[in-house]
Amino acid sequence: MILFLLACGHPLDSADSGADPSGSTCTSGHYWEGGNEESPVMNPGQDCVACHRSGEGPDYTLAGTVMGDYDDEDDCNGVEGVVVSILDADGKRMSLTTNAAGNFYTNDDFALPYTVSIEKDGATREMASEQDDGACNRCHTAAGEEGAPGRIVAP
Ligand code: HEC
Ligand code: HEC
């Protein structure tokens, strides 16, 4: 009975989350090491939209990273080949596929608020709430801001 409770009490824990001595994790075990050098696979996990909006690089209306676990740290490469489907307030759908770093981004316009689901190999995860900010990684940090559970994690 105790084992049962322990197993069910931590649904977000993952046995392969690769904890390191600093307490941070990187499920893929691979990091971006290029600093702010321009690249589609740059700075996984960081707030793409905010930095680009501050005059660095092209403006993005929506961008983020799908990672291996909820507490993966900044610059840890995420998961490739996850389809991020956005449904905007006008019923328009946009689909973006994550690249080798787990990053996705667009500068297409869309109507706020939007809902989103992500899919890989037939498995899905959905964000229950509507959002009106395309800067996914602003909320989906390793710690989780504004009630987010942490990173956007591949299903
Ligand atoms: C701390 C700042 C910063 C962050 C965070 C950041 N970028 Fe960048 N990005 C830059 C800079 C600077 C450039 C280069 C701009 C230039 O040389 O014109 C760039 C360029 C790019 C380019 C090349 C654009 C082009 O047309 O050549 C892509 C793609 C890109 N970033 C994607 C992303 C994604 C996706 C994220 C989030 C996962 C991200 N960036 C996060 C600063 C940042
Ligand atoms: C303003 C903060 C905020 C922004 C921006 C945001 N999210 Fe979320 N997200 C949340 C919160 C809070 C939850 C948990 C509650 C819920 O599901 O609505 C969540 C949950 C999720 C989940 C389900 C998590 C799980 O593991 O069950 C996914 C997937 C997700 N978000 C994807 C995204 C994507 C993709 C974007 C950008 C297009 C995004 N989110 C932008 C706050 C945000």
Residue 78 exposure: Cα atoms within 13 Å on the Cβ side: 36
* 42 Cβ below 6 A of ligand 1: yes
Q: 117 CB contacts (<8 Å, ≥6 apart)?
A: 85, 124, 125, 126, 127
Q: Give residue 57's pLDDT.
A: 79
Which tokens belong to 151? Answer: 């990173």
Q: Give residue 10's pLDDT.
A: 41
Q: Give residue 23's pLDDT.
A: 59
Over range 6-12, report the average pLDDT. Answer: 42
Do the beta carbons of residue 69 and residue 25 sit within 8 Å?
yes
The CA 138 to ligand 1 mean position distance, Å, reads 15
Q: Which residue has the tokens 């680009």?
A: 52
